[in-house]
């Protein structure tokens, strides 16, 4: 519950109780921040459930992943399983019940065949990892209430970035995104890369200094929680 989550955060209750006129406002602020924290973790859990299930199914699909690539996806799969475990434990520590794993349809209603076509498996793997990188960055501000969780979330973000780079290179792409070009990705994945062509950073025009491609590649753009949820929702029954 939100109350339990708040109880896990040092609030300075003595000060609040001695200043009743300000108590309601302060409690509302803390409640909102605790809610943002747990909402961010629940969203991350959905994304990690998706990736964890995807790689499990891919590894279980006989003859799908070439033997030369299998070790890579076994390691990525281990990471995703560990991320799920961490997020569930973090939510529980905040007094929240972790969301249940959804039922996934990785064909997205028959639009993909990732477990019979290795190229499509790689396409979705790249899309999921690139989504994860942007989503974790987008939620960083919402988990700042807990230093421990913020640190862990940013560590997961860096792991997801390494996954994304690896899969992109396995598809003969650069390890990073330039502009809004995912790199030989189908139009159905456009939402994953929308906004990546932003060239202004804190009022600084990166294109003027480095050129458009390099300027955009230097920064991963955030993905809002609603956009990340919408992308994941395409694969949830």
What is the predicted pLDDT for the residue at 25? 37
The residue ranges of every structural domain in the chain are 2-175
**Cβ atoms within 10 Å of 235's Cβ, excluding its own:** 22
What is the predicted pLDDT for the residue at 33? 54
How far is the C-alpha of 70 from the C-alpha of 88, rounded, in Å? 27
Which tokens in the block code for residue 138? Answer: 């987008």
Q: What is the pTM of this model?
A: 0.84
What's the Rg (C-alpha) of the chain? 20
CATH 1.20.1260.10 assigned to domain 2-175? The reply is yes
Residue with tokens 């139009």: 187
**CA 156, chain centre distance (Å):** 9
How far is the C-alpha of 197 from the C-alpha of 10, rounded, in Å? 40
What is the predicted pLDDT for the residue at 17? 26
What is the predicted pLDDT for the residue at 87? 97
Residue with tokens 């995703």: 80
Q: What is the 3-state secondary structure (H, E, C) of 43-88?
A: HHHHHHHHHHHHHHHHHHCCCCCCHHHHHHHHHHHHHHHHHHHHHH
Low-confidence ranges of the chain (pLDDT < 70): 1-34
What is the predicted pLDDT for the residue at 222? 94
What is the predicted pLDDT for the residue at 34? 60
């Amino acid at each position: 519950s939100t109350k339990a989550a708040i109880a896990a955060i040092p609030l300075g209750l003595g000060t609040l109780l001695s200043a009743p006129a300000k108590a309601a406002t302060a409690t509302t602020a803390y409640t909102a921040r605790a809610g943002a924290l747990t909402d961010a973790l629940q969203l991350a859990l959905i994304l990690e459930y998706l990736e964890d299930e995807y790689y499990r199914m891919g590894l279980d699909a006989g003859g799908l992943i070439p033997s030369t690539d299998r070790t890579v996806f076994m390691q990525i799969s281990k990471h995703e399983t560990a991320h799920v475990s961490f997020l569930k434990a973090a939510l529980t520590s905040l007094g929240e019940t972790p969301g249940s794993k959804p039922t996934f349809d990785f064909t997205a209603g028959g639009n993909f065949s990732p477990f019979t076509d290795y190229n499509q498996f790689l396409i979705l793997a790249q899309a999921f990892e690139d989504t994860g990188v942007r989503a974790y960055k987008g939620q960083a501000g919402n988990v700042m209430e807990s230093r421990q969780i913020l640190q862990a979330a940013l560590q997961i973000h860096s792991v997801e970035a390494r996954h994304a780079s690896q899969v992109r290179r396995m598809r003969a792409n650069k390890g990073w995104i330039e502009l809004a070009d995912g790199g030989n990705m189908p139009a159905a994945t456009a939402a994953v890369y929308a906004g990546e062509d932003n060239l202004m950073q804190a009022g600084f025009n990166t294109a003027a200094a480095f050129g458009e491609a390099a300027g955009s590649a230097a920064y991963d753009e955030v993905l809002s929680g609603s956009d990340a949820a919408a992308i994941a929702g395409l694969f949830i029954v």
